[in-house]
């Protein structure tokens, strides 16, 4: 056991065997690496993780997609169809604190790398399986983020009112699933410290998506009605959307009646808040088209930056619709330190969002070249065998 005062990072001393590929699993294991865990990424020879080939865009080192979720890890290339390599994989898995995989359900069992086999050798093992649709009746369905956004209902509520259902601009379901996997793993680590027992964790893209639908999901359960696409508008709040200013788009979110009163005053139209059609949030939702028309006529008269300054001074939530580079620069200007350096000759990366008062996140290493750390991993295994 390592004393708390010896820990540089929260998860120092934890070893993770990462058999996952693409996004959800690698994001989960990169998060664990950022928090101090040693992550050994097991990849197929020659090709490695699928995302090594996903480009453009490319960096000087390879695929920016792969680089986005694989910093701080060690890589070893093993052919799981070859007996010697498979045995090496078993040794890594049985010595790790955490095993995470996203093969098709049943694949790891057939290889002798499933939960039961690993737990028999290491009862304290925490074993996390990620799938698209679970290990039951959905085990034969291929779980790609785009497909899950479609069948999971997210696309049905995303996009313009009069347009087609639209996917999110990032593989959001994979991201949510990776974060859910980390939550489950960390809970199991805490439980193991108390009981000494390991755990089997399963998380699927579909259940992670459904769990993220929050108010929209509950509304469906309560009313039995399917939500509809509203573009940038909110089904239960108004105004809560984007408006066009003289030179671009602004987002405005009035979460209560007081904020709406402030908005009306800041826009130079105090009587707007006294209009009986807009007196309460429910009234504003019911009369949204008329409200939008009034607000749009006012916002058209000045530039985005003018209104952002005026509205924030009036304590009305508002902001410019930024590009991603603009968003990173905005966070940097606020002192949030949104990026980290991973090594000389490498571009900065988006850092892990959690900040610690006692511990720190790891000074990380760059995403690994395929099989870069094979010799070091084998030395580590030999040390365990000695």
Please say if the pLDDT value at position 4 is more than 70. Answer: no
User: What spatial distance separates the first Cα and last Cα of the chain, rounded to whole Å?
Assistant: 20
Q: pLDDT per residue over 232-267, tens digit each? A: 999 999 999 999 999 999 999 999 999 999 999 999
Directed axis angle between helix 83-95 and helix 374-385, to 10°?
A: 70
Percent of the chain with pLDDT over 70: 97
Residues 198, 97: Cα–Cα separation, whole Å? 9
Cα 91 to Cα 23, 117, 166, 267: the distances in Å are: 25, 12, 44, 66
Looking at every residue in the chain, the average pLDDT score rounds to 94
Give bridge partners of residue 116 from the DSSP assignment.
none
Which one of 3.30.2310.20, 3.90.76.10, 3.30.1540.10, 1.10.3720.10 gives the CATH number of domain 240-330? 3.30.1540.10
pLDDT at 356: 84
Q: What is the pLDDT of residue 355?
A: 86
pLDDT-based confidence at residue 357 (cuts at 50, 70, 90): confident
Instruction: Provide the token pair at 279.
Output: 């007196």
User: Which residues in 72-123 belong to E strands, given as ranges?
Assistant: 73-77, 98-101
Return the active site residues.
Answer: 174
What pLDDT score was predicted for residue 335? 96
> Would you state the pLDDT for residue 386?
42
Mean pLDDT across 23-34: 97
Q: Are 38 and 14 in contact (CB under 8 A)?
A: yes
The SS3 assignment for 251 reads strand
Closest by CA to 296, choosing from 373, 234, 242, is 242
Residue 359: its pLDDT value, please? 78
Q: Yes or no: say if 90 and 116 are a contact pair by the CB < 8 Å rule.
A: no
Q: Which pLDDT does position 374 carry in this prediction? A: 97
Flag whether pLDDT at 380 surpasses 50.
yes
Asked whether the predicted pLDDT for residue 362 surpasses 80, the reply is: no
- Would you say residue 100 has pLDDT above 90? yes
Structure tokens that stand for 308 in this block: 């952002």
Is 50 exceeded by the pLDDT of residue 1?
no
What digits encode the pLDDT tens for the residues 196-228? 999 999 999 999 999 999 999 999 999 999 999
Residue 5 DSSP symbol: G
pLDDT of residue 230 exceeding 60: yes
Q: With a cut of 70, say whether residue 334 has pLDDT above it.
A: yes
Fold of 4-212+356-385: Rossmann fold (3.40.50)
Residue partners of 116: CB distance under 8 A and separation at least 6: 109
Residue owning tokens 């680089």 = 67
Distance of CA 204 to the CA centre of its chain: 14
Per domain, the residue ranges of the chain are 4-212+356-385, 240-330
Mean pLDDT of all residues in 290-299 = 97
- What does the pLDDT read at residue 9? 87
Provide the edge-to-edge strand list for the sheet that holds 240-244: 240-244, 249-253, 318-320
Nearest to 241 by CA among 278, 279, 293: 293
Residue 23 reports pLDDT greater than 70: yes
The β-bridge partners of 77 are 43
- Say how far apart CA 183 and CA 28 lie, in whole Å: 9
Q: How many residues does the chain have?
A: 386
Measured CA to CA, the distance from residue 101 to residue 127 in angstroms comes to 8
Does pLDDT of 348 surpass 60? yes
**Phi/psi at 26 (nearest 5 deg)?**
-60, -35
What does the DSSP assignment read for 117-168? HHHHH-TT-EEEEEESS-SSTTTTS---HHHHHHHTSTGGGSS-TTS-----
Show the 3-state SS of 195-242: HCCCEEEEEEHHHHHHHHCHHHHHHHHHHCCCCCCCCCCCCCCCCEEE
Contact between residue 291 and residue 254 where contact means Cβ atoms under 8 Å apart: no
> What average pLDDT does range 11-40 have in this prediction?
97
For 174, list phi and psi in degrees, rounded to 5. -60, -40
């Amino acid at each position: 056991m390592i004393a708390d005062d010896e820990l540089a990072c929260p998860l120092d001393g934890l070893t993770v065997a990462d058999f996952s590929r693409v996004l959800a699993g690698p994001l989960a294991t990169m998060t664990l690496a950022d928090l101090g865990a040693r992550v050994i990424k097991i990849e197929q020879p020659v090709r490695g993780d699928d995302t090594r080939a996903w480009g453009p865009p490319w960096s000087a080192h390879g695929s920016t997609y792969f680089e986005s979720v694989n910093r701080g890890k060690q890589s070893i290339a093993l052919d799981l169809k070859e007996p010697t390599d498979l045995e090496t994989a078993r040794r890594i898995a049985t010595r790790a604190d955490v095993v995470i995989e996203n093969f098709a359900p049943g694949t790891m069992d057939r290889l002798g790398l499933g939960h039961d086999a690993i737990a028999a050798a290491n009862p304290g093992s925490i074993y996390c399986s990620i799938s698209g649709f679970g290990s039951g009746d959905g085990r034969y369905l291929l779980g790609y983020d785009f497909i899950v956004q479609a069948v999971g209902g997210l696309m049905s509520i995303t996009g313009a009112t009069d347009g087609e259902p639209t996917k999110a601009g990032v593989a959001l379901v994979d991201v949510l699933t990776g974060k859910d996997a980390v939550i489950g793993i960390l809970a199991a680590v805490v439980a193991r410290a108390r009981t000494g027992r390991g755990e089997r964790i399963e998380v699927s893209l579909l259940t992670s998506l459904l769990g993220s639908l929050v108010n929209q999901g509950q509304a469906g359960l309560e009313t039995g009605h399917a939500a509809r696409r509203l573009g940038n508008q909110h089904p239960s709040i108004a105004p809560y959307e984007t408006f066009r200013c003289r030179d671009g788009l602004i987002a405005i979110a009035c979460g209560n009646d007081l904020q709406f009163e402030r908005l009306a005053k800041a826009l130079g139209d105090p009587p707007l808040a006294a209009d009986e059609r807009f007196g309460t949030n429910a009234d504003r939702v019911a009369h949204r088209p008329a409200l939008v028309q009034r607000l749009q006529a006012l916002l058209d008269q000045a530039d985005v930056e003018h209104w952002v300054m005026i509205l924030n001074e009036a304590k009305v939530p508002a902001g410019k619709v930024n590009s991603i580079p603009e968003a990173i620069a905005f966070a940097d200007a606020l002192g949030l330190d949104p990026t980290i350096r991973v090594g000389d000759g490498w571009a900065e990366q988006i850092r892990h969002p959690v900040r610690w008062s006692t511990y720190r996140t790891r000074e990380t290493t760059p995403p690994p070249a395929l099989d870069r750390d094979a010799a070091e991993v084998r030395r580590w295994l030999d040390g365990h065998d000695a």
